[in-house]
């Protein structure tokens, strides 16, 4: 029995030590000042490019080739946590979507930063899930 426990412990240490670090250049403490001014992109699926611009407590999200532009006002809750209130959506949505609408407030939290990236989380799917986005600095 002791031998089995020893091998289980040994294998768990070996497996843990072989985890990959997908963000080797990430900061130990997130540098949340990156959102004061900058342009970031997210092109995870390869089809729809998302460009996010941070300027003067404003966030502008541009989807695709300006097919949808969402402008939000930022309110800093803490150095790495901010609330974005949607002020305008262009073109105006034809159907009332209960997920994205003018006046909607979304709280984002920066969990990791690196030399050229920001990773943040927010509640999505009507507050049922936590979504994570990786943004690369342009």
* Interatomic CA distance for residues 14 and 10, integer angstroms: 6
Please, what are the domains in the chain? 27-137 (2.40.128)
Contact 39, 137 (CB under 8 A): yes
pLDDT in tens, 20-43: 455 555 657 888 888 888 899 987
- Taking the C-alpha atoms of residue 126 and residue 21, their distance in angstroms, rounded to an integer, is 31
Euclidean distance between CA atoms 11 and 43, whole angstroms = 37
| Confidence at residue 19, expressed as pLDDT on a 0 to 100 scale | 46
The pTM (predicted TM-score) of the whole model is: 0.74
HSE, CB side, 13 Å, CA atoms: give it for residue 20: 2
Whose tokens are 């407590």? That residue is 57
Q: Is the pLDDT of residue 99 over 60?
A: yes
The CA distance from 90 to 134, in Å, is 24
- Say whether pLDDT at 83 is over 90: yes
Q: What is the pLDDT of residues 111-132, one digit of tens each?
A: 998 888 899 999 887 778 899 9
Residue range 74-95: mean pLDDT, rounded: 89
14 pLDDT exceeds 60?
no
């Amino acid at each position: 029995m002791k031998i089995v426990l020893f091998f289980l412990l040994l294998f768990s240490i070996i497996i843990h030590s072989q985890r990959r670090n997908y963000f080797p250049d990430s900061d130990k403490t997130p540098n949340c000042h990156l959102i004061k001014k900058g342009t970031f992109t997210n092109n995870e699926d390869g089809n729809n490019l998302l460009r996010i611009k941070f300027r003067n407590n404003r966030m502008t999200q541009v989807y695709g080739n300006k097919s949808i532009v969402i402008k939000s006002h930022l309110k800093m809750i803490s150095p790495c946590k901010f609330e974005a209130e949607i002020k305008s959506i262009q073109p105006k949505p034809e159907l009332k979507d209960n997920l994205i609408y003018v006046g909607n407030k979304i709280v984002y939290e920066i969990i990791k930063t690196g030399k050229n990236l920001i990773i943040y989380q927010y509640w999505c799917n009507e507050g049922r899930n936590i979504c994570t986005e990786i943004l690369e600095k342009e």
